[in-house]
Structure 1
Amino acid sequence: MRLHHSLLLLCVAIGGCVKSPTATVDPLDTRSTPDSINSQPNIIMIVIDDLGWSDVGYNQTTQLFETPNIDKLAQQSLRFDNAYAGAANCAPSRAVLMSGQYGPRHGVYTVSPSARGNEKNRKLIPIVNQRGLKTNVITLAESLKAAGYATGTFGKWHLGADPDEQGFDVNVAGSHQGMTFHYFSPYNLPNIEDGPTGEYLTNRLTSEAIDWMQSSKDTPFFAYIPYYTVHTPLQAAVDKVEKYHNKGIKDKKEATYAAMVELMDENVGRILTMLAAENLAENTLVIFTSDNGGYRMSSFPTPLRAGKGSYYDGGLKVPLLVRLPGKIQPGLDATPVINADFYPTLLSFADAKQPAQVLDGIDLSPLLLGQESIDTRDLFWHFPVYLQAHHAATDQGQDPIFRTRPGSAIRSGDWKLIQYFENNEYELYNLKSDISEQVNLANQLPAKVNELKAKLHAWQQQIGADIPIKLNPKYDHTFNQKLINELSVK
């Protein structure tokens, strides 16, 4: 089932001006009360692609980003300051979210082949990557659909050929494809008709989602809105890009990125405006987050180390806002959470049955509703593959050749332990005192390393994590070390 081009797009040529019939309504006005509040709240999950933890106004370390709608949403939401993606790049993170399972259960570890980068730099033969979720995995959408929800996805799927076959009644622009090559129509994307020349994809997806939610408002609905933005290619309206040049961002790509963030924010505002206009705000659970960390850019400093593709916090930590007026009290929460938690949490809100599969996340609803805190638990990541460097000078990886080499990681309380499989090396960081993960305490605190190592190894065994042990015969140690040395001095 496909939705056609929305008539709400009235200003498409430059991709920045969109006016809908509800544009005069305050998008953050939640005082209106629907005639009846369904015991099953509507659910809107907005997942931005490659949006960094500090790339939103309420959380930024500069004054360059402009996200007024998200900032206002943050004021009305429970904001999580230690929210994590289930993986540091697109497909595996989305697989964790939609399955409620850690990577070793579904085998989606990366995008494309697991053997990335020059084979002479890879000491181990990585674990073969599973492309997309197998159809026997019961997705979050399938569980909500079984509970009576209408389900629609609008944007990037990246977990199979067609989300129609994985729990969604409606699919707009979702497929195996992990990015768009054209933010301005014609898009040449599967499962979406091209709009007028110059129409902006983020605007279009929002209009499709709004149309569908308005038509589905008489039944509980789950609107999954995984925008393609702000993933590359960096493309935005010329006037928006010029605005950020005038604010002092000299680099064209970085000015374009900031413009894409603002355009994304405008569309989040359109969704919130619609909820208020349709008297849906009081009974709609809104989640705003990102699928992983963003690419590091010189104009946007962040206290976190590294970015997308890295298992330092810059690649894993994401913004997370959760709003349900009258039930979830606004505020800031430092509890470490992970996107695997969405599945059991939303089942609880939807009064849905548990699927016949293991869920690794936990139900956060008691925490969200202010009923009780959650027990301290450890978070885990497993990445038995290689991901080559994006830009060695700013990646801040363990070495300048790869954003990460095969390994696992655990966050336990304030501590983070990273294991690298090639040489069985460990790095230990205290995230409370060293948010930038600059001081490796592994040699100074062997007892803490052993404590976390035991937890990590027990988890690997319990979940059946595939760990690469076979040596790559084409690996060249001398070549590898020479290249590391050369790149490290640049």
Structure 2
Amino acid sequence: MNTRFLKAIVILLIVFFTRLDAKEAEKPNVVFVLVDDVGTGDIKCYYQKTKVTTPNIDKLASEGMRFTQAYAPGAVCSPSRYALLTGAYPCRGPLRDKPARYYTPLTISPDQMTWPRFMKQQGYRTAHIGKWHLGFGKETIANWAGEIKPGANDIGFDYHLGLPTNHNDGWKTYVENHRLLWLKDSVTELAGKPTHEQLMQIRYDDEVDSTLTGKAIEFMKENRDEPFFVYLALVATHTHITPAVQFRGTSEIGQLGDYINELDYHVGEISDALDDLGLADNTILVFSSDNGGQRNDVRNAGKVLNLRDASQDVQEKAKSAKTDARTKFGHKTNGDFRGYKGSNYEGGFRVPFIVRWPGKVPAGSESDQMITLADVFATTAGLLGEQMPESAGGDSFDLSPVLRGEEVK
């Protein structure tokens, strides 16, 4: 074979693989922070009359785009989370408008094309960290001491650290990948929730969000050299209202405001971590909520808590934190919108939605384009310049042109 021809082939191969590597390096990281029961009245940049302060979330808005007509596909937790991960409206899933229970089978088919599975196919390391609330198993899990599957790992997530439903679920631990975390080796049969005695350590309600945020940052550090996708589902401000000790007494609206302050702090931690890792400019960072804010505290609020620090009457105040914020301090969790979580009015569905991608999404911009959590799947694909499979995300609309400052046709 001609030597010159061989050299030409080698050069072409080098150029080809160099371009492949460059394309891989250009892929932006994606971090989606979904909070719980947070209405637009809980965020300062959405409701200027609020007494709460959210400097880190407001800063995110000043560095990106704030949507003023963003909606959750459901007025309660699980339906919205289903829509986010599938790009399909909740009516297409098994729950429709109902929340999952810990014994609910997995509500997303392992064969379904999901947002995390799509991201894996694009070469991303994927993680779900936080509230899950979408069920486990083909049927009810018979033995929680064994493998807990199918679950988050089976719909596209490489890593999963989750609360089966929420931090008021009485589980006292997390599910890590396919196993209960901290379960003693001596426990081989478990029909339901573990007791304190069956665990090597327990989950503390006033440390959940700090634990989840820390784990998300750890995942980003471990995968800093390859594109990653993190779905961080924080539990604030769902009942129980249990702010960590350093945030108690820091707001003007009681314990709910303290919890909002903690939430804002954790958003700042994520942003700071991206800065420290030198990844902020190449990361799409999104902040939103699963539904509108709740009017009152639920019946079991503050009744059964595992607290690392019980000072400042945190357990007693947790029983009425949301009611007190509204009746004693005049807080409007959904701003001037009518209705609350679980209702068919605007307050049940209207949510904050902020996207930051430096140099790509115009800083300090605002859009009145209607967007829902179901649109995130297709919009992410659009931002990556990738085509979604035809069978995926049937209710997901690509709104990436809006984020680039263009008009949607």
TM-score normalized with structure 1 length: 0.60
**In 2: Cα distance, 1:344 partner to 1:229 partner:** 27
Match of 1:285 in 2: 284
8 Å CA contact 1:91, 1:132 repeated in 2: no
Does residue 1:367 correspond to 2:342, yes or no?
no
Letter in 2 for 1:146: Q
Count of matched residue positions in the alignment of Structure 1 and Structure 2: 314
- Equivalent position to 1:313, from 346, 349, 356: 346
Does residue 1:216 correspond to 2:251, yes or no?
no
Residues 107-256 of structure 1: pairs in structure 2 closer than 5 A:
107-112=94-99, 132-161=107-136, 162-174=151-163, 177-181=164-168, 187-191=172-176, 192-193=181-182, 194=201, 200-238=207-245, 240-244=247-251, 247=252, 249=253, 255-256=254-255
8 Å CA contact 1:41, 1:349 repeated in 2: no
Does residue 1:326 correspond to 2:326, yes or no?
no
Does residue 1:300 correspond to 2:335, yes or no?
no
8 Å CA contact 1:147, 1:351 repeated in 2: no
DSSP-derived class of the 1:145 partner: helix
Q: Deviations over 1:203-245 (max 9, x none)?
A: 111111101101101111101001122111111235533233x
Match of 2:147 in 1: none
8 Å CA contact 1:38, 1:283 repeated in 2: no
Seen in structure 2, the aligned counterparts of structure 1 residues 75 and 112 have a Cα distance that, compared at 3 Å, is closer
**In 1: Cα distance, 2:32 partner to 2:203 partner:** 27
Letter in 2 for 1:283: N
- Equivalent position to 1:337, from 344, 365, 371: 371
DSSP-derived class of the 1:306 partner: coil
**In 2: Cα distance, 1:236 partner to 1:153 partner:** 22
8 Å CA contact 1:147, 1:353 repeated in 2: no
- Equivalent position to 2:381, from 332, 347, 350: 347
Deviates more, 1:357-366 or 1:210-219: 357-366
* Greater relative contact order structure (CA < 8 Å, 6+ sep): 2
Q: Deviations over 1:224-277 (max 9, x none)?
A: 001122111111235533233xx3x3xxxxx22111111111111111111111
DSSP-derived class of the 1:54 partner: helix
Seen in structure 2, the aligned counterparts of structure 1 residues 39 and 113 have a Cα distance that, compared at 3 Å, is closer
**In 2: Cα distance, 1:198 partner to 1:105 partner:** 33
8 Å CA contact 2:100, 2:165 repeated in 1: no
Q: Percent identity at matched positions?
A: 32
8 Å CA contact 2:126, 2:230 repeated in 1: yes
Q: Mind listing any 5+ residue stretches in structure 2 that lack a counterpart?
A: 1-21, 137-150, 183-200, 296-322
Residues 36-51 of structure 1: pairs in structure 2 closer than 5 A:
38-51=25-38
Seen in structure 2, the aligned counterparts of structure 1 residues 291 and 199 have a Cα distance that, compared at 3 Å, is closer
Residues 383-394 of structure 1: pairs in structure 2 closer than 5 A:
none
**In 2: Cα distance, 1:169 partner to 1:231 partner:** 27
Match of 1:357 in 2: 392
Q: Mind listing any 5+ residue stretches in structure 1 that lack a counterpart?
A: 1-34, 115-128, 250-254, 376-490
Match of 1:60 in 2: 47
DSSP-derived class of the 1:200 partner: helix
- Computed over aligned residues only, the root mean square deviation of the Cα atoms, in angstroms, reads 2.6
Letter in 2 for 1:368: L
Shift in Å at residue 36 of structure 1? Answer: 10
**In 2: Cα distance, 1:197 partner to 1:232 partner:** 14
Give the structure with the higher percent helix: 2
Match of 2:145 in 1: none
**In 2: Cα distance, 1:197 partner to 1:53 partner:** 28
Seen in structure 2, the aligned counterparts of structure 1 residues 238 and 284 have a Cα distance that, compared at 3 Å, is closer
Seen in structure 2, the aligned counterparts of structure 1 residues 205 and 130 have a Cα distance that, compared at 3 Å, is closer
**In 2: Cα distance, 1:305 partner to 1:99 partner:** 29
Deviates more, 1:229-238 or 1:93-102: 229-238
Does residue 1:272 correspond to 2:271, yes or no?
yes
Seen in structure 2, the aligned counterparts of structure 1 residues 345 and 73 have a Cα distance that, compared at 3 Å, is same
4+ runs deviating over 6 angstroms: 195-199
TM-score normalized with structure 2 length: 0.71
DSSP-derived class of the 1:47 partner: strand
